[in-house]
Each structure stands twice: as C-alpha cells, then as structure tokens.
Structure 1
Amino acid sequence: MSVSVTVSDREAVARQLGREPRGMLAVAARCPSGHPNVVQTAPRLPDGTPFPTLYYLTCPRLASRIGTLEASGLMKEMTDRLAEDAELAARYRRAHESYLADRDAIEPLGTQVTAGGMPDRVKCLHVHVGHALAKGPGVNPFGDEALELLGDWWTGSDCA
C-alpha cells in the first residue's frame, strides 16, 4: 500500500468518483494499468463523521461489474452459505477481524461494525472486493470469490 497520496493519484480518484475524495489516506490497490482502484480512507472524515469503510473502491468499471453481480442475487446466496458452512463463516469472521484491526490501528471508532455486512451477512460486494484487492488473496473469502467471478474486468480499454 502507498504511504502517501500523490497529486496525480488524488486527481485520478476525483475523476473516478466525480468528486473530490474525502478522508483519503493512501492508495490501497491499483489496477493492472496503474490507476488507483481502492483507496484507504480515514475512519473519520475531515468533518468528524465516522466512516467505517476503510477500503473504498473507486474504479467505476469495477464498481459497475460488481453491481451486476449484486443484481444477480449473489449476496443472498453468500449469506445463506454462512449458515451452512462453519469453515466459511470462520474465514469470514477473520476477514471482519482483519478489517477492524486495520481500521482501529488508524483510529478506533469504538464500534465492532466494519463494512459490507461483516461478519454475519454479505451486504455490499464493493466492500469485499475492495478489501480483497487491498489485502491480497486469502483474507476476504467473498471478495476473493467475487474477483474470480469478475475475471479480467480491466481489459478492453483504459479503465480510468
């Protein structure tokens, strides 16, 4: 992960989001073309508002493809599997704990709420994919699974 944000990174993220990024601390992941696709955000926005989404997906192409997965009913299927598969549920709880530890290392919010429905349900695949891209394979099972389903989402043209 980057330790600082360059002017060009901030400009690229602003173009991706269509607004200035808020609370951006670092680029947590980049697409194969080098553009930021996940940023690490402060647990509190500059105005003091709590913002529990530590790893924020910024790539519009990736966000759109994830939206298609969400519309397919995949999140309900994933949530249902948590009740049926104790090993998967344990791995998902560890993803939640990893996310919480990373966020609390920056600034504890005094809550066990992370993002994306963790650890009991799957509410937002954007969060899980962002977490998986920021931390690498093996940390967030549903992020890894969604990335596998997405395939080579970045191919075809410049993703930014």
Structure 2
Amino acid sequence: MTIPPFDPVSEQEIRVVSAQLGRPARGVVGIAARCACGNPTVVATAPRLPQGTPFPTFYYLTHPSATAEMSRLEAGQVMVEFTHLLAEDPAVRDQYARAHAAFLADRAPYGDVPEIADVSAGGMPTRVKCLHALAGHALAAGPGVNPIGDLALERSAWSPERCECTDPGAALADDGAPAA
C-alpha cells in the first residue's frame, strides 16, 4: 500500500506536534495518522532534515500516550518476543519484508538520500529494533501492512480510537483548523 501525497501541514498542526514532542518539529511533510480528536499521532518526516541530517524514520510517532505505551512495551521485553516470532514464523517474516519495501516506497517521493537508501525503520526487514517506529508505520499504512507494528498496537493499552490527548483544547477539526 502506498500512501498518497499528504495535505499541506498547517502551522497549528506543527504547534501541536512540537508540543507533543517537547521540542520544535523538524522536516514534517505530512500528518500520516491522527487521534480520534484530530490531533496528529504520526507525522511523515522528510528523509533529509532541514539542516541536512539523513532521517530514515519517515513515520514518526508523536502522540505522547502512544509513545509512552510503546516505551512500556519495549521495557517489558516485547521486542524480544517479537524478534523470536520473526525468526520462527516465515509468514510474519515475509510480511515484514513487504512492510519494509512499502515503507521505502512511501518515503521515496520525498527525497533520495543515498546514505539511507535501503534503510527503513524499526529494524525492518530483519529485526525488531523500535516499536515506536513500527507502530507509527502501522498506524500510517493501516492494518495488515506491518505485522510487528500491528502486534505492538494490539498489545498496547493505547488506542487511536480513544482520545487521550493532554490538552483536548488543542485538538484539530477535520479541516485542520483548531476545533471549536
């Protein structure tokens, strides 16, 4: 599945993402997934940041509750379990390789960066390295594309269908404007 071009990112969306991250957002080319309230959950980031640094993590998880939950899973050794699954299940391994290819195809229109030409994120296609990146990809691409990202989201106590934003007043309406 290839993600279509993103709508232009509004200044309000950049403010929300910056607040989520606790630092200025960099290189955002689109909002790839949203919370139930409309706030960004995953941003698509240019493969080369404005100051020139290569950045392979095209899908970057920004939602504080989602990132906290992926950190909790990582601390609970879920990556070890998923790494064993990847090693033992050829179907999961094949789908994970397809997820890697889909990730690279999604990122390609946003710039050719030779330093990261075959690098996706989260350890794809051969290992499980970062649940944040894999969950971000799964949220952006939808169910069935990234099997490890899907498993992380299933295991998570967080859900994109339920708003857990700390500042609901910062929520965005469907048109990207601040919600009333």
TM range (shorter): over 0.9
Superposed displacement of residue 22, structure 1: 0.5
CA RMSD of aligned residues (A): 1.6
The alignment partner of 2:18 has SS state of helix
The gaps in structure 1 that reach 5 residues or longer are none
Q: 1:46 aligns with which of 46, 50, 75?
A: 50
Cα shift readout 1:27-61 (whole Å, capped 9, x = no counterpart): 11101111101000000000111000000011111
Cα deviations by residue, 1:69-119 (Å, 9 ceiling, x for unpaired)? 111111111111112111110000000000111112221222211111111
User: Which stretch shifts more, 105-114 or 22-31?
Assistant: 105-114
Larger RCO of the pair (alpha carbons < 8 Å, separation 6+): 2
Match of 1:158? 165
- Does 1:83 pair with 2:87? yes
Question: In structure 2, which of residues 144, 147, 151 is the aligned counterpart of residue 138 of structure 1?
Answer: 144
> What's the offset of the Cα at 1:151?
4.2
Corresponding position of 2:173: none
Contact kept? 1:26, 1:39, Cα under 8 Å = yes
* TM-score, normalised relative to structure 1: 0.93
Structure 2, gaps ≥5 residues long? 168-180
The corresponding residue for 1:94 is 98
Q: Where does structure 1 differ by over 6 angstroms across 4 or more consecutive aligned residues?
A: none
Deviation at 1:156, TM superposition (A): 7.2
CA contact (8 A) 2:27 2:46 kept: yes
Aligned residues: 160
Of 127, 145, 159, the residue aligned with 2:133 is 127
Residue type at the aligned position of 1:158: C
